[in-house]
């Protein structure tokens, strides 16, 4: 990392910053590795100089402010750091202060700036803890988005049950799940997505730091290799089973579909006004039994999924986006059971990621899919689809659901505002 002078002013404002020397690497794969290596070679002062202007033109940024939170309709990034928090207080004023600090920090980080303005100074105070943890110095914004959701338990702790949105229900127990409470639920959830893993980790690390005394980290999950495309500009990725995933996902270029299936409407029946423009986030940590799957014949794998592995085409078709003849697919195939046409038109936008965390005592990988989906109403979208899949999906032989959570996602933040301002008004 860049070495900053602390006891004397810099002779010239020439050193690298998060938007400085390494900005010309913006958009290049592996910028996190390359950036760290080159930054470590610098011995000049960490000043914010003229390089900033040039870098800002090439940085990849997603606006933090808007009618809806970023990170939902945003084309999916390559990396994820997801975190769930538990409140340590019932003081609403303290929680609002934390949400204000978080929102300000998220806006700055999304813009490629340090968490706190004090960190912009050419000389840092040696007697004070820095206003930013620093590991993202020299990196561009990497399309960072930070999205927040509120759990049902938060409303109970803060005495806000009269403002509980109707879709924020207790999820029912689904057949076959083996949920670990240590990897489930939470008063608040934060999804940080970026094209650079270090940028995503930096975001969560600093929000954890800003929450001290008000909230504590309950659990977290790192993810890589997005498992769906939610933009027509993106190629369909593959999951750890080797199949293309997300071919029929909602696309950001279809705002009418998001209005139908993702965004809570201003006149939503029974929904509080503060949820208008928001959504609901479902997270499921799904362990994929890779060793069992890898011993399964290709033909059986394709029957389980309902698509050809190499092309991604529906069974009986030639190309990935050829029309699906649902009646021609096995009745228990995943594609047939999950398709909107077999679920009364219910759809959701998926933003899941693969994960590989460790291995067990038998040498089996703890790996799989960290499923993330946004819906307008989980009661009519996620829950009935999940119940059908849990009871009938042939893929269940190769899966184990071990973590779960549901959060109400407030609408976007306007300049000067903060996450959930309508709820706490």
Instruction: Tell me if 418 is assigned to some domain.
Output: yes
Distances 304 to 226, 293, 298 between C-alpha atoms, Å: 21, 11, 10
Give per-residue pLDDT as tens, 293-331: 999 999 999 999 999 999 999 999 999 999 999 999 999
Residue 378 DSSP one-character state = T
Instruction: Tell me if 237 is assigned to some domain.
Output: yes
Helical (H) or strand (E) element with 94: helix 92-110
CA–CA separation, 103 and 109 (whole Å): 10
Instruction: Tell me if 118 is assigned to some domain.
Output: no
Instruction: Tell me if 178 is assigned to some domain.
Output: yes
Q: Does residue 133 have a pLDDT over 60?
A: yes
> Sign of the C-alpha dihedral, residues 94, 96, 101, 106?
positive
pLDDT class of 17 with cuts at 50, 70, 90 = very low
Give per-residue pLDDT as tens, 340-385: 999 999 999 999 999 999 998 889 999 999 999 999 999 999 999 9
Helical (H) or strand (E) element with 36: helix 31-39
Instruction: Tell me if 245 is assigned to some domain.
Output: yes
Token readout for 83 is 């975190």
CA atoms within 13 A on the CB side of 175: 11
Instruction: Tell me if 103 is assigned to some domain.
Output: no
Range of 165's domain?
A: 64-96+124-424
Q: Does residue 9 have a pLDDT over 50?
A: no
Q: What is the pLDDT at residue 178?
A: 97
Q: Structurally, how many domains does the chain consist of?
A: 1
- Please state the pTM of the whole predicted model: 0.86
Helix count (H) and strand count (E) of the chain? Answer: 11, 9
Phi, psi (5° rounding) for residue 381?
-120, -75
CA–CA separation, 232 and 27 (whole Å): 19
CA–CA separation, 269 and 161 (whole Å): 17
Instruction: Tell me if 47 is assigned to some domain.
Output: no
CA–CA separation, 418 and 420 (whole Å): 6
Instruction: Tell me if 37 is assigned to some domain.
Output: no
């Amino acid at each position: 990392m860049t070495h900053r002078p602390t006891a004397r002013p810099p002779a010239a404002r020439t050193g690298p910053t998060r938007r400085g020397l390494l900005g010309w690497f913006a958009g290049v794969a592996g910028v996190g590795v390359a950036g760290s290596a080159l930054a470590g070679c610098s011995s000049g002062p960490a000043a914010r100089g003229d390089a900033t202007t040039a870098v800002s033109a090439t940085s990849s940024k997603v606006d933090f402010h808007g009618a809806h939170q970023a990170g939902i309709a945003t084309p999916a990034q390559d990396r994820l750091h997801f975190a769930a928090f538990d409140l340590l207080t019932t003081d609403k004023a303290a929680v609002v202060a934390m949400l204000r600090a978080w929102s300000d920090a998220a806006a700055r980080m999304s813009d490629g700036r340090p968490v706190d303005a004090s960190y912009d100074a050419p000389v840092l105070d040696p007697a004070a803890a820095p206003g930013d943890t620093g590991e993202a110095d020299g990196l561009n914004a990497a399309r960072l988005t930070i999205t927040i959701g509120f759990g049902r338990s938060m409303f109970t702790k803060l005495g806000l049950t009269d403002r509980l949105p109707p879709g924020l229900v207790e999820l029912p127990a689904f057949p076959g799940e083996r949920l670990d409470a240590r990897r489930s639920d939470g008063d608040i959830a934060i999804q940080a997505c970026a094209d650079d893993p270090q940028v995503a980790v930096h975001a969560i690390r600093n929000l954890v730091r800003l929450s001290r005394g008000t909230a504590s980290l309950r659990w977290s999950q790192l993810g890589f290799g997005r498992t769906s495309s939610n933009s027509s500009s993106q190629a369909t990725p593959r999951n750890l089973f080797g199949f293309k995933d997300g071919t029929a996902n909602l696309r950001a270029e279809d705002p009418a579909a998001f209005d139908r299936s993702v965004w809570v409407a201003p006149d939503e029946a029974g929904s509080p006004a503060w949820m208008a423009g928001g959504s609901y986030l479902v997270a499921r940590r799904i362990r994929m039994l890779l060793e069992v799957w890898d011993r399964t014949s290709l033909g059986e794998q394709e029957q389980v999924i309902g698509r050809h592995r190499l092309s991604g085409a529906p069974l009986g078709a030639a190309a990935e986006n050829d029309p699906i003849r649902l009646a021609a697919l096995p009745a228990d195939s995943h594609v047939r059971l999950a398709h909107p046409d077999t679920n009364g038109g219910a759809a959701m936008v998926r933003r899941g990621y693969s994960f590989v965390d460790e291995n067990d005592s038998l040498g089996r990988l703890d790996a799989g899919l960290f499923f993330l989906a946004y819906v307008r109403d989980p009661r009519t979208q996620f829950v009935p689809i999940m119940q059908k899949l849990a009871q009938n999906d042939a893929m269940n032989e190769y899966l184990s659901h071990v973590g779960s959570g549901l959060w109400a996602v407030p609408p976007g933040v306007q300049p000067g505002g903060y996450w959930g301002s309508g709820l706490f008004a």
